[in-house]
Chain A
Amino acid sequence: MPAQLLQGSDAVARSAIEAGCRFFAGYPMLPFTDLLEAMARLMPGAGGVCMNAETEIEAVNMALGAGAAGARAATGSCGQGIALMQEAIAEAALNEVPFVVFNMARGQQDYFQATRGGGWGDYRTICLAPKDVNEAVEHTQLLFHLADLYRAPVMMYGDYLIGHTYMSVDMQRRDYGPLPPKDWALDGRRGGTGASRQIWTWAMGKANDPGPGPDLHWQRIAAKFEDVARAEQRWESELCDDADTVVVSFGSAGPFVSQVVAELRADGLRVGAFRPVSLWPFPETALAEACASARQVLVFEVNAGQMIDDVRLSVGHRVPVRPLGRVSIDFSGMRQGEILTVPWIRERVRAAMNETVMG
């Protein structure tokens, strides 16, 4: 398939449909709105359904119902809307219903929300943070695969830049390998046969076929997420082998940091970049290895310091970990503010290197 020039939201919508998504529900909220509009435009032609839900709570529960019925389903929102959805995201993790949540965030201030969750119970949410539109297209298809593989809701951490940037993208369907059959999905056809199905967070089962109950069921889910934590760590590491300083960033901040590293390398500075591609599970081993020779780790994130907790947990006390970003939002409150530029980051990395590495 030839490359196409597409706006990010449009590209993500097309990639979701290419991945077999046939149910989407959302409630308008910038910068997620464009994805909802793209789905409303494209889904009918694909034989699918796009619901302009009346609330975010209803949108995510519709996606839960569609996922329980066996469809590849998705929803999305940002910030406050994702906050409203956390109850159902947690519930779906515990009753094992897969769907994808497109979190087109207003900036990077929702790292905790995306990686810790605000729902209830012992659950985690797989969360991928693409650096650009091309990676968002790839992650979209991967997320539907991971959701089905682990029977769990999963999340993309996108933002205004991902949603609004035009990029030449490759839209072909990716093959991530075989998946287990959805023999658990509800279709109503086994009623009265003694083999009807049930989706229930408490997993009590039927009177003729008792389930494990909440204690064992939730232990199994916790064990499942331990497996996911080991198997699904993704990252990108650049020039870290001989680096005195490693700059860690996530999502659409990544390309800015890569450019900074290229420019400082040209000046002879030994600096590398590390980007967690999966925010959960956080690639802690790979980050610790990338920082093995470093004398400092700088964390550039456009927020008051959230991912830095995961960085510190990964590298421990061996090397100092310093924040490089801050709260920064534009006048509309919808997107990253003034600090997300190559010069701003470059000068602060250079200053930190002069202070620590050179000094």
Chain B
Amino acid sequence: MTEVAQKKVASALAPLQLSGEHHLCPGCGHPVAWRILLEAISELGLEQRAIGVVGHGCYTNIVQLADIDFLQCLHGRAPAVATGVKRVHPDAAVFTLQGDGDVASEGLAEVLHTAARAERITTIMLNNGVFGDTGGQMTAASVVGQRTKTSLDGRDAETHGHPVPVAELVAALAGSAYVARGSVNNAGSIAKSKRYLKRALELSAAGAGFTFVEILTMCPTGWFLPTAEGPGYLEGTFEQTYPLGVLKDGPR
């Protein structure tokens, strides 16, 4: 391979990534989100200030695969745990990495209280609308019509209620300084999501307040779809319920 060609091909390993196995399925969006998160931390020069607090889900595996201090905590509790970490190390860049089951279902109180408190941390919610780790059940963020193992005919608002738009709730709180929702289903959205992550991490590390980035991720296994249909389903279904973009930049 020539030198020119090498520059065009991304390194197989992201910065701060440790070489090792993971158990994620083909077509999963989480590894893309992991990668842009690690790139964002590295490009901001936060490697030796970053402390990650990680919830329970398929993404938890990052605790083994990234060369960053990590605390793996109870389901839903990451923002409270991160609060304790940040108050002890005010100069650290503290972030939580959680799924929609972790944030929208089990830990909605934690994320809203932490945002309202303007805690100087970043919460990253990987939203695939399904409990992937337990095999495809409905979360509080599953979209109407979505088939899961506990909504076999699709989520029906009359029976199962409506999805919780966490980003909009966080944006409504005065303590949040930055809220954005991105996706990882094509190159353009990946680049945008990475910009959102960099802005969010930069602002919370600088003390601006609580920042929140939701990233819609593909879960073809949990959506019961062929792998290649994941990105299209995400765009056609999830993006209709969860519009992409920056919801808030700067304290309200």
Chain A residues close to B by CB (< 8 Å) = 22-23, 25, 49, 51, 53-55, 57-59, 61-71, 73, 87-88, 91, 95, 186-194, 196-202, 204-208
Q: Which 4 residue pairs spanning A and B have beta carbons closest together?
A: A65-B84, A207-B20, A66-B84, A69-B88
Q: Is the interface of B mostly helix, strand, loop or mixed?
A: mixed
B47 contact from A51, A87, A191, Cβ within 8 A: A191
Task: Please name the residue on chain B nearest to A90 by beta carbon.
Answer: B74
Bound CA span A186–B70, Å: 8
Q: Which listed segment binds A: B61-69, B142-150, B151-159, B216-224?
A: B61-69
Bound CA span A208–B68, Å: 12
Task: Please name the residue on chain A nearest to B77 by beta carbon.
Answer: A61
**B104 sits at the interface (CB 8 A):** no
Residues of A within 8 A of B63 (CB): 198, 200, 204
**A70 to nearest B CB, angstroms?**
7
- CB atoms of A57 and B80 under 8 A apart: yes
A191 contact from B67, B71, B72, Cβ within 8 A: B67
- CB atoms of B73 and A64 under 8 A apart: yes
- CB atoms of B48 and A190 under 8 A apart: yes
**A51 to nearest B CB, angstroms?**
7
**B92 sits at the interface (CB 8 A):** yes
**B237 sits at the interface (CB 8 A):** no
- CB atoms of B69 and A197 under 8 A apart: yes
**B89 sits at the interface (CB 8 A):** yes
The A-B contact count (CB < 8 A) is 161
0 or 1 for each of B33-55: is its CB under 8 Å from A? (1 = yes): 00000000110001111110100
- CB atoms of A66 and B85 under 8 A apart: yes
- CB atoms of B87 and A49 under 8 A apart: yes
B72 contact from A65, A73, A88, A201, Cβ within 8 A: A201
Categorize the interface residue count of chain B: 35 or more
- CB atoms of A61 and B81 under 8 A apart: yes
Residues of A within 8 A of B16 (CB): 191-192
**A185 to nearest B CB, angstroms?**
9
- CB atoms of A187 and B69 under 8 A apart: yes
17 A-B pairs in the complex with CB atoms less than 8 angstroms apart: A57-B110, A58-B110, A61-B77, A62-B83, A62-B87, A65-B71, A65-B86, A66-B85, A68-B81, A186-B51, A187-B92, A188-B48, A189-B69, A192-B16, A197-B70, A200-B71, A207-B21
Bound CA span A57–B108, Å: 12
Residues of B within 8 A of A95 (CB): 71-72
Task: Please name the residue on chain B nearest to A203 by beta carbon.
Answer: B72
- Given A64-B73, A65-B53, A65-B83, A71:B88 Cβ within 8 A: yes
- CB atoms of B93 and A188 under 8 A apart: yes
Bound CA span A100–B80, Å: 17
Bound CA span A249–B154, Å: 59
- CB atoms of A187 and B51 under 8 A apart: yes
- CB atoms of B50 and A206 under 8 A apart: no
Q: Which residues in window 66-118 of B have CB below 8 A to A?
A: 66-74, 77, 80-89, 92-94, 109-110, 113
**B206 sits at the interface (CB 8 A):** no
Bound CA span A151–B214, Å: 35
Residues of A within 8 A of B48 (CB): 188-193
Bound CA span A91–B73, Å: 8
**A85 to nearest B CB, angstroms?**
11
Bound CA span A350–B110, Å: 54
Bound CA span A58–B19, Å: 35
Bound CA span A319–B73, Å: 47
Residues of A within 8 A of B49 (CB): 188-189, 191
- CB atoms of A62 and B80 under 8 A apart: yes
Residues of A within 8 A of B19 (CB): 207-208
**B225 sits at the interface (CB 8 A):** no
Knowing that A87-B74, A191-B16 touch, tell me 15 more A-B residue pairs with CB under 8 angstroms.
A57-B110, A61-B73, A65-B86, A66-B85, A68-B85, A69-B85, A69-B88, A91-B73, A186-B69, A186-B70, A188-B69, A192-B16, A192-B68, A200-B71, A206-B67
Bound CA span A91–B56, Å: 13
Residues of B within 8 A of A205 (CB): 64
Residues of A within 8 A of B53 (CB): 65
- CB atoms of B68 and A191 under 8 A apart: yes
- Given A54-B109, A66-B84, A192:B71 Cβ within 8 A: no
A208 contact from B18, B77, B80, Cβ within 8 A: B18
Which of B48, B66, B85 has the largest count of A CB atoms less than 10 A from its CB? B85
- CB atoms of B64 and A64 under 8 A apart: no
Residues of B within 8 A of A186 (CB): 51, 69-71, 85, 89
B84 contact from A69, A188, A200, A201, Cβ within 8 A: A69
Bound CA span A202–B68, Å: 17
0 or 1 for each of B1-34: is its CB under 8 Å from A? (1 = yes): 0000000000000011011110000000000000
